Structure 1
């Protein structure tokens, strides 16, 4: 058994795509999901520190799942607060966006249903679909005609799964049009807002006021909010169904109350600091003005630069690192061969000088 595992690892090593855990690098950050800089914001950290000093119990472990000993007033109050902020009837907290998607797509659809996913949907959704026993169909990325042709043929209850902002290409879903198709064909639309929350206010569902047309949405807090965890926004009936049947909720020890406090105050901090989002979008515009070819949206904090060769991509990343820039290469087979890319994440704290210097090096390679 170990020999089989080692052969697979050796093959990855030979092709230069072996993953290993490394210490956190020191450099100019163009690779993290900390879009608004909240993970290192001193003012936010000080407020949370004061909260802990006032109530050290926040740091205690929850001691069990929320169905046993892990439920607290803080968790319930935070869920009610999140639901109110997003104008949904209910919210259910999870330890991660992965677990939230696992709960939704492994629990709600059954073997009699169909899940129609964008071909670039997050891996967590694909993993959950395998657990659900539902039929899974893919539609071409952001292709409304292909999606409608699939919807037109459905005779069973169906779900559509999309992201509002995709993390590999950095492009936006035609959310309003897909919501209209879901409504037309009486299909439940589920939207992952992991990368849109905080970047576009409370996400694109809230921005376009599509709450009544989106069956459920996933908000994650480890990216723009600089915290940890996730929430499913949904109807009260859906929340109760997940509490009763979702394994990734039922059998997970609840997070400590500090996590829920950090999320709630994060929302308040976003209200107090609208300039962070404004600065982020200014930096996105600066990057776009450097005329780097990219499939990404002109308003996305994720800008993908295609370098269709694993070795050339590795050389580019190493050159950037030698110049103090931290970027993330996405090799095949994570993406299709020939679509390897450098994934650049822009932040509110990046400077114009650093963005220009970064793009100058990239231009030398492409």
Structure 2
């Protein structure tokens, strides 16, 4: 075997010296405060069994899609599932991708053209950043959730853009902060400056809205945006993602989104699970109500224990305590894990240096006692 390149070894050594070297975790039986399975759907026996019944009743026994959707992989479950998602989200059209990463890379690498401008929130997800890097458009970041800074950039773009497009990109719930932008103000700005708004709803699906439809739809703003990205690996507890928009957008992505064109399609059982999870979401509210009760209890306990100053303001299922320094935040996370609480440390460079944090993901299946115990332990540890 050839020796490993020194330049790569040096980069690994730099990560290790900064106490930022990533390693795959060993899954244990700790109390879950780290997964994105907000509603517990990934563990739902009902969804699991109903998915299999659906496949059996349809006579589907295929293990794979056999090819890309443009070759041989566009089986019937795609149309059935995409049509249901469009109805659920009141969208003109839906295109399913293999993952949220694939959806964002495919959308942002192909849609913005040379001469276009992309204005994106500085805390936008890595998959969107990667898609933007692959595009031919110019891109500028605006301060996190700062509509005034965004408008400053819009004014500058408006005077130079000519006949090209301006795209505004953000998330409805930010994965590393749990906070949300003022969606109404964003819509107003896009109207005023004739821009196109794209919202990633990954961490809002299943959580926000009367039926878990997401934050935009819950505010009746879904028809004011150019595209929405829905990711199924979080609130829905399965796998895959979709871009929601016009029929023209779907047609465009089928022709130009390379992460869609050049990959094997999802197998029928993946689509059956997505469809079953959506139907369960539409007809059941217990898990969503239980989650919102846990979120309220977490917030009240955080205030009671005088921990509010450490946490970023959030009304979502994601709550983050900022603990600057990779070493310190890893040490606190280790203490919590030693007491059987799976709370992950988020290190730089995943977040900016000095903004390292403990990320608490809340779930419908967490209990008030678990929350009280972990926050009491945090209070003692963070002040020691």
Question: Shorter-chain TM-score category?
Answer: over 0.9
**Are 1:119 and 1:138, in contact at CA under 8 Å, matched by a contact in 2?**
yes
Say whether residues 1:83 and 2:86 are aligned partners.
yes
Deviation at 1:58, TM superposition (A): 4.7
Q: In the alignment, what sits opposite 1:225?
A: 236
Q: In the alignment, what sits opposite 2:206?
A: 198
- In structure 2, how many angstroms separate the alpha carbons of the residues matched to 1:298 and 1:215? 26
Q: In the alignment, what sits opposite 1:39?
A: 42
**Are 1:169 and 1:296, in contact at CA under 8 Å, matched by a contact in 2?**
yes
Q: In the alignment, what sits opposite 2:283?
A: 272
- In structure 2, how many angstroms separate the alpha carbons of the residues matched to 1:257 and 1:36? 23
Say whether residues 1:331 and 2:339 are aligned partners.
no
**Are 2:178 and 2:314, in contact at CA under 8 Å, matched by a contact in 1?**
no
- In structure 1, how many angstroms separate the alpha carbons of the residues matched to 2:41 and 2:271? 16
- In structure 2, how many angstroms separate the alpha carbons of the residues matched to 1:336 and 1:297? 18
Say whether residues 1:22 and 2:38 are aligned partners.
no
Q: In the alignment, what sits opposite 1:183?
A: 191
The answer for unaligned runs of 5 or more in structure 1 is none
Report matched runs for 1:60-209 at 5 Å: 60-154=63-157, 155-156=160-161, 157-200=165-208, 201-209=212-220
- In structure 2, how many angstroms separate the alpha carbons of the residues matched to 1:272 and 1:207? 17
Where 1:358 maps in the other structure, the secondary structure is helix
Q: In the alignment, what sits opposite 2:271?
A: 260
Where 2:374 maps in the other structure, the secondary structure is helix
**Are 1:171 and 1:295, in contact at CA under 8 Å, matched by a contact in 2?**
no
- Residues 212-269 of structure 1 deviation map (CA, whole Å, 9 limit, x = unaligned): 2110000000001001000000000111011011101110110101111111111111
Q: In the alignment, what sits opposite 2:7?
A: 4
The answer for unaligned runs of 5 or more in structure 2 is none
TM-score, normalised relative to structure 2: 0.92
- Residues 186-206 of structure 1 deviation map (CA, whole Å, 9 limit, x = unaligned): 000000000001011210111
Deviation at 1:296, TM superposition (A): 3.4
- In structure 1, how many angstroms separate the alpha carbons of the residues matched to 2:262 and 2:45? 35
- In structure 2, how many angstroms separate the alpha carbons of the residues matched to 1:298 and 1:135? 31
**Are 2:109 and 2:131, in contact at CA under 8 Å, matched by a contact in 1?**
yes
Q: In the alignment, what sits opposite 2:252?
A: 241
Deviation at 1:88, TM superposition (A): 1.0
Q: In the alignment, what sits opposite 1:282?
A: 293
RMSD across aligned positions (CA): 1.3
- In structure 2, how many angstroms separate the alpha carbons of the residues matched to 1:363 and 1:42? 36
Where 2:238 maps in the other structure, the secondary structure is coil
Where 1:303 maps in the other structure, the secondary structure is strand
Deviation at 1:271, TM superposition (A): 2.3
- In structure 2, how many angstroms separate the alpha carbons of the residues matched to 1:23 and 1:324? 13
TM-score, normalised relative to structure 1: 0.97
Deviates more, 1:92-101 or 1:72-81: 72-81
Over 3 Å off, 4+ runs: 52-59, 294-298
Where 2:174 maps in the other structure, the secondary structure is coil
- In structure 1, how many angstroms separate the alpha carbons of the residues matched to 2:59 and 2:146? 51
Q: In the alignment, what sits opposite 1:343?
A: 359
Deviates more, 1:23-32 or 1:158-167: 23-32
- In structure 2, how many angstroms separate the alpha carbons of the residues matched to 1:175 and 1:148? 14
- Residues 137-194 of structure 1 deviation map (CA, whole Å, 9 limit, x = unaligned): 1111111111111111213211000000001111011111101111111000000000
- In structure 2, how many angstroms separate the alpha carbons of the residues matched to 1:19 and 1:219? 27
Deviation at 1:309, TM superposition (A): 1.7
Where 2:335 maps in the other structure, the secondary structure is helix
- Residues 67-112 of structure 1 deviation map (CA, whole Å, 9 limit, x = unaligned): 0000011101211111111111100000011111111111111111
**Are 2:48 and 2:273, in contact at CA under 8 Å, matched by a contact in 1?**
no
**Are 2:20 and 2:347, in contact at CA under 8 Å, matched by a contact in 1?**
yes
Aligned length: 366
- In structure 1, how many angstroms separate the alpha carbons of the residues matched to 2:58 and 2:25? 35
Q: 1:14 to 1:298 in 2, by over 3 A?
A: closer
